Structure 1
Amino acid sequence: MRGYTPPTTRRRVVAALAAAVTAFAAAAALPGPADAAQPAARKVETIPCPRPTVKPPKGRPARPIPPKDDPVLRAVGGDGLATDGLVVPAGSPRPPALTATSWLVADLDTGEVLGGCGPHVYGTPASVQKLLLVATVMDKLDPKKVITVTPGDLDIEPGSSAVGLLKGGQYNVSTLWLGLLLNSGNDAANTLARLGGGAGGLPATITDMNAEAKRLGAYQTHAVTPSGLDGPGQFTSAYDLALIARSCFAKPDFRKYALTETAKIPAQKRLKKGGFQIQNENKLIYNYKGALGGKTGFTKLARHSYVGGAERNGRRLVATVLGAEAAPLRGWQQGAALLDWGFSLPKDASVGKLVAPASTDAQVTSADSSGAGAAPEQDRPAAAAARTSADRGLSLGMAAVIAVVLAATPLQHLLTQRRRRRVPRRTAVPR
């Protein structure tokens, strides 16, 4: 019968796969199938992150419930990063005490992670989400192109940050980027997302943002809005933000905009409205020697988030902060304190690695069945394991075990189904 596999062949295939899993597990000193259910012999101690003694502000909303932790995603960039606590190089000075729930410091050029606090703990991004919009859309748009603002572009949460774009107003794209990065304009974010999505508009850009996150290796990041305004299921991590920031700082236009102190929003004579000036809200660029810029963020739900970069003695570092309070240090000051700590470490200090982006032909597309640009559930851990292994993250043994298990399970299931039914395989029907 066409499509039928003899029972003897099926048993040999399954047995071979099981043997491969056991062999890889033994090589990596990991539990094999027989003892996978047994408790780990050694529990890694979680080191508390240094925190100041401060009372949480009154009226702070409860943190949103994050997705279930995935042990593979928590180890992207290195096994040592899979902690809710502190991870720093041995013998390093004590990092600053911060209110941030999670943070990370990394080298923008080498990709080495210098240290972190809960690097892969899920957090809510607020306006640092705009960096993912930059990473996704900036290279698609001509900065000199003049566009017209639509009513939908101004559909933002009342009271949220805005540049003050006018319906029917005409602005060039570079002005929109300045409004996004200096003034954290949610109206500018909507406009840029609409333009970047082409015929698909803003929804297409959100899909592309999630695809870009996966391409960069930011598997814990899921965008619901282009601006970072809160939305259900919108999360990121300090590690993911460093990957996204690294992509942004590689763009000359971003570096130029991020260091711009003031910009002029042009008058709209046709609408009888005058022009006005905006100022960069990232105070790092005024107060920190060697600052490269970055992005601030705040919502009541997310609290303060921050991404900041700086250069010192030819070394470029980035600090990412999530879930911080404004006292005793504001978000940018917490970023500055982390940069100071990072620059105090030797150049070869490392606790992990920022993974390299996937090649263009391997980029996750908007056609993914799981929606919003996320990799399919079955493929996501395998891709993460493979990427991490290539960048000195998970051990080769662990990556191999994960890949073999993921490959073996669907095949074994398929063979079992064929053995039961012994009918030709039919073409799958989308649901």
Structure 2
Amino acid sequence: MPALKKIALTVTSAILLSGLVLSPASAADKDKSDDKQPKPPATMSSLGGERLGKPGTQVALGPGAPVLPKGLTGRSWIVADAEKGDVLAAHNAHWRLPPASTMKMLFADTLLPALQPTTLTHKVTDSDLAAVGEGSSLVGIKEDHTYTVHDLWLGVFLRSGNDAVHVLAQMYGGMPQAVSAMQKHAEELQALDTKVVSPDGYDAPGQVSSAYDLTLIARSGMQKKDFREYAATASADFPGEKKKGKKRETFEIQNTNRLITGGIGVDPYKGIAGVKNGYTTHAGNTFTGIAERNGRVLLVTVMNPSQEESHAVYKEAAKLLDWGFAASGKVTPVGELVPPKSIDTGSGTTTGGKGAQPAAGADQGSGGQAEAAHASAAGGSSGVGIALAVVGGVLVVLAGGVFLVNRRWPLRLPRR
């Protein structure tokens, strides 16, 4: 056999042998890597529908329905019709995961009726802020300074300020009282995956929620006029530090929800109306959003997507909203957003359809205290700074440049 041919055969054999040796090792490494990723429980709550209790993606495409977006990495997500309550698609919907600052939605939905954004003021003490966790997101509240309840709610919704949460909780009666009230309200909403430990969403052992629960909570919060206005506000003036002999100045705070304000690689989402974003080391990024387009109102929640892509939580939420609007009416719902325990949907009629949220606390609030907040770019074609109170047919311009779309919210609910 010619020497050149022998060399060629030897090289070929070596390549084949190395492939046999290396390929299984590579596969094993991949499996080992996959094993490190958390897996959803084999069985989860089936509240809202049997398919919602199954791990993996649940969707039932009909004729002409678009396929789900590619590259979704969220450990858990859900897309639902905010008015009818239909769950259009979901992925590990009941997986109990750390919620980060999306827990503030439950805080606001629970405490807003008791702490109305009126002219009531509170002088902050050292003890009010003593338990704020290290590394917390802050709006910049100072001890020995006075703030209105309206100021504090702006701090909660726009800057996700844990300092504002702690002050409001103290005004409510203390952190334990706030946690207890939140847990009770979660149970009333049937957000049964949710365990409240810290009302600001700061990482705490045992604190969990789910994409399903956060969607229920957001839907309930949007029943309240003040909640809708705060959640949709792009920017506002916040009281600064009082300096001796000088008039107290203000500084601008901007909503950390990038689908409202845009920036750093994220475009404002057309029709966005809130609701809340969050991040902690343990939870990763979390987000619940609500948007209106062509007469439909959708809710989306995404929990802990891949950290490899910058701001993936917003990008994946936007993709899911786009899909939901395109798929509405072309998919069979895989579940529903259940009503609160106190609501009977078996009798009477409702414009909101099945799964409508409670009238208890519905549209409560001073109705307009958030009007003083102003949108930072209300005139832009991108929709930045346009606050949608989801549910309306007419745009109403309020004093501070905040726009409200008045549709059919709060939803009308059946009674026994």
* Distance across 2 between alignment mates of 1:169 and 1:69: 51
Partner AA of 2:124 in structure 1 = V
Correspondences of 1:350-365 after superposition (within 5 Å):
350-359=333-342
Cα distance 1:168–1:245, how it changes in 2: closer, same or farther (>3 A)? Answer: same
What is the SS of the residue equivalent to 1:269? coil
* Distance across 2 between alignment mates of 1:329 and 1:78: 33
* Distance across 1 between alignment mates of 2:42 and 2:203: 21
Say whether 1:77 aligns with 2:59: no
Which runs of 5 or more structure 1 residues have no equivalent in the other structure? 1-54, 56-60, 362-389, 392-431
Deviation of 1:265 (Å): 1.3
* Distance across 2 between alignment mates of 1:329 and 1:192: 33
**What residue in structure 1 maps to residue 121 of structure 2?**
146
**What residue in structure 2 maps to residue 135 of structure 1?**
109
**What residue in structure 2 maps to residue 293 of structure 1?**
274
**What residue in structure 2 maps to residue 341 of structure 1?**
323
* Distance across 1 between alignment mates of 2:42 and 2:224: 32
**What residue in structure 1 maps to residue 166 of structure 2?**
190
Q: Is the 8 A contact 1:62 1:301 kept in 2?
A: no
What is the SS of the residue equivalent to 1:180? helix
**What residue in structure 1 maps to residue 297 of structure 2?**
316
* Distance across 1 between alignment mates of 2:296 and 2:168: 32
Cα distance 1:62–1:79, how it changes in 2: closer, same or farther (>3 A)? Answer: closer
Partner AA of 2:86 in structure 1 = E
* Distance across 1 between alignment mates of 2:153 and 2:139: 11
What is the SS of the residue equivalent to 1:113? strand
Say whether 1:278 aligns with 2:260: no
Cα distance 1:262–1:223, how it changes in 2: closer, same or farther (>3 A)? Answer: same
Correspondences of 1:61-72 after superposition (within 5 Å):
none
Q: Is the 8 A contact 1:170 1:268 kept in 2?
A: no
Correspondences of 1:375-414 after superposition (within 5 Å):
none
Say whether 1:307 aligns with 2:278: no
Deviation of 1:62 (Å): 8.5
**What residue in structure 2 maps to residue 89 of structure 1?**
60
Q: Is the 8 A contact 2:194 2:209 kept in 1?
A: yes
Q: Is the 8 A contact 1:308 1:319 kept in 2?
A: yes
What is the SS of the residue equivalent to 1:140? coil
**Of residues 200, 204, 211 in structure 2, which corresponds to 1:231?**
204
Say whether 1:119 aligns with 2:101: no
* Distance across 1 between alignment mates of 2:85 and 2:112: 22
Deviation of 1:153 (Å): 2.7
Cα distance 1:62–1:116, how it changes in 2: closer, same or farther (>3 A)? Answer: closer
Deviation of 1:353 (Å): 0.6
Deviation of 1:84 (Å): 1.3
**What residue in structure 1 maps to residue 216 of structure 2?**
243
Deviation of 1:306 (Å): 0.5
- State the Cα deviation string for residues 232-260 of structure 1 (Å, max 9, x = none): 11011110011001011111111111221
Deviation of 1:274 (Å): 4.1
Q: Is the 8 A contact 1:106 1:318 kept in 2?
A: yes
Correspondences of 1:322-333 after superposition (within 5 Å):
322-328=303-309, 330=311, 331-333=313-315
Deviation of 1:326 (Å): 4.2
* Distance across 1 between alignment mates of 2:43 and 2:128: 36
Query: How many residues are treated as equivalent by the alignment?
Result: 299
- State the Cα deviation string for residues 268-301 of structure 1 (Å, max 9, x = none): 4377764321111111113111110111110111
Q: Is the 8 A contact 2:109 2:227 kept in 1?
A: no
**What residue in structure 2 maps to residue 379 of structure 1?**
none
Partner AA of 2:321 in structure 1 = L
**Of residues 137, 159, 177 in structure 2, which corresponds to 1:204?**
177
* Distance across 2 between alignment mates of 1:136 and 1:62: 34
Deviation of 1:152 (Å): 2.8
Bigger shift: 332-341 or 118-127?
332-341
Q: Is the 8 A contact 1:195 1:202 kept in 2?
A: no
**What residue in structure 2 maps to residue 221 of structure 1?**
194
Q: RMSD between aligned alpha carbons? A: 2.7
Q: Is the 8 A contact 1:102 1:119 kept in 2?
A: yes
Deviation of 1:324 (Å): 1.8
Q: Provide the TM-score with structure 2 as the length reference.
A: 0.67
Deviation of 1:208 (Å): 0.8
**Of residues 222, 225, 228 in structure 2, which corresponds to 1:252?**
225
* Distance across 2 between alignment mates of 1:231 and 1:313: 41
Deviation of 1:325 (Å): 3.1
Q: Is the 8 A contact 2:159 2:256 kept in 1?
A: yes
Partner AA of 2:202 in structure 1 = L
* Distance across 2 between alignment mates of 1:267 and 1:183: 14
Q: Is the 8 A contact 1:317 1:339 kept in 2?
A: yes
* Distance across 2 between alignment mates of 1:185 and 1:207: 21
* Distance across 2 between alignment mates of 1:360 and 1:75: 19
Q: Is the 8 A contact 1:147 1:172 kept in 2?
A: yes
